[in-house]
Amino acid sequence: MSQQKLSRLPLASSKLTLIFAAALCAAWVPSAFAQDSQAKDSSGQWALGFGAVVLDKPYRDFDREVLPLPLVSYESKWISATLPTFDVKLYSTEALSFRLRTRWSGDGYEAKDSPVLSGMDERKSSLWAGSAVTWKTGFANLSGEVLSDAMGNSKGTRAKLQIDRRFAAGKFGFTPRLAAEWVDDKYVDYYYGVRQSEAQAGRAFYEGKATTNVQVGLRMDYSPSRHHSVFVDVGATRFGSSVEDSPLVDKTTGTTLALGYAYRF
């Protein structure tokens, strides 16, 4: 891929890529900015920052993209919000938190995004809503969520389990993570399926089935003071078999790279 392709910023030409970049930032805000689950200050804690992310989707002939990455985070006793995720804490202690969650997800595409999608109907992004739990143990942090498509675009459901742990080394931090996300047949069929009316030579009819995607990643952060932090995050997703089998897909694994700076007020 040419340097020109890697350096272009498609933000101005594609609202879907902007949405997808915003959806990714929740995973990359340094964990130090989300630790105050029991914030005593009624005004809450804010963190703002900026960065960039290099990403690709699994669809065939999709160019890797470099996108700006806005970082916005707010944490209080009852609210935890990291753009584009918004949580209401139903019950929280230092170790355990039960939450209602909404998240805007940038899944989907437009037919113009790739030659293989020509003639396909648009697959829209959605607001997902459901419940989540976080549990901080002495060994690691565990989290889980179950979300449904609140806008009814895919009518799908997704569930995710994640384990991560931050290892501190002076002003540096290293946080490896492992996650598995199950997506149901409606989700896979909507985003990776091919309808009868969309089938053509080289793009056969395809009906998606439920599958599980496995994600691994490592975030590295450096905090010279309480207010400042910079970070780099690398991640990879191994797509489930029913995503891999889609005639729209030519990748078994997707990778991401993000870096940025955040200021905590």
pLDDT band at 222 (very low <50, low <70, confident <90, very high): very high
Query: In the predicted model, is pLDDT for residue 38 greater than 60?
Result: no
Share of the chain above pLDDT 90, in %: 64
> Could you give the domains of the chain?
3-264 (2.40.160.40)
Query: In the predicted model, is pLDDT for residue 12 greater than 80?
Result: no
Taking Cα atoms as reference points, which of 62, 61, 67 lies closest to residue 25? 67
Query: In the predicted model, is pLDDT for residue 13 greater than 50?
Result: no
152: left (phi over 0), alpha (psi -120 to 50) or beta: left
User: Pairing state of beta strands 253-264 and 45-55?
Assistant: antiparallel
Q: State mean pLDDT over 222-245.
A: 94
pLDDT greater at residue 120 or residue 254: 120
Query: In the predicted model, is pLDDT for residue 215 greater than 50?
Result: yes
Share of the chain above pLDDT 70, in %: 84
Q: State mean pLDDT over 104-116.
A: 87
pLDDT band at 108 (very low <50, low <70, confident <90, very high): confident
pTM of the model: 0.85
| pLDDT of 21 | 52
Alpha-carbon gap, residue 183 to 243, rounded angstroms: 10
Give backbone dihedrals phi and psi of 177, rounded to 5 degrees, phi first.
Answer: -145, 155
Q: State mean pLDDT over 52-61.
A: 86
Query: In the predicted model, is pLDDT for residue 138 greater than 80?
Result: yes
pLDDT greater at residue 15 or residue 86: 86
**Contacts for 2 with CB less than 8 Å, ≥ 6 apart:** none
Query: In the predicted model, is pLDDT for residue 39 greater than 90?
Result: no
Compute the CA torsion angle 17, 185, 254, 219 (nearest 10 deg): 80
The tens digit of pLDDT for each residue in 146-170 reads: 999 999 999 999 999 999 999 999 9
The tens digit of pLDDT for each residue in 254-265 reads: 888 999 999 999
Alpha-carbon gap, residue 212 to 240, rounded angstroms: 5
Query: In the predicted model, is pLDDT for residue 11 greater than 50?
Result: no
Q: Which two tokens stand for residue 126?
A: 């959605």
Quick one: how far is CA 71 from the chain centroid?
13
Percent of the chain that is helix, strand, coil (3-state, to 5): 15, 50, 35
Whether 20 and 44 have beta carbons less than 8 Å apart is answered as: no
Whether 111 and 120 have beta carbons less than 8 Å apart is answered as: yes
| pLDDT of 30 | 47
| pLDDT of 24 | 53
Query: In the predicted model, is pLDDT for residue 106 greater than 90?
Result: no
pLDDT greater at residue 60 or residue 28: 60
Q: Which two tokens stand for residue 95?
A: 């170790």
| pLDDT of 15 | 47
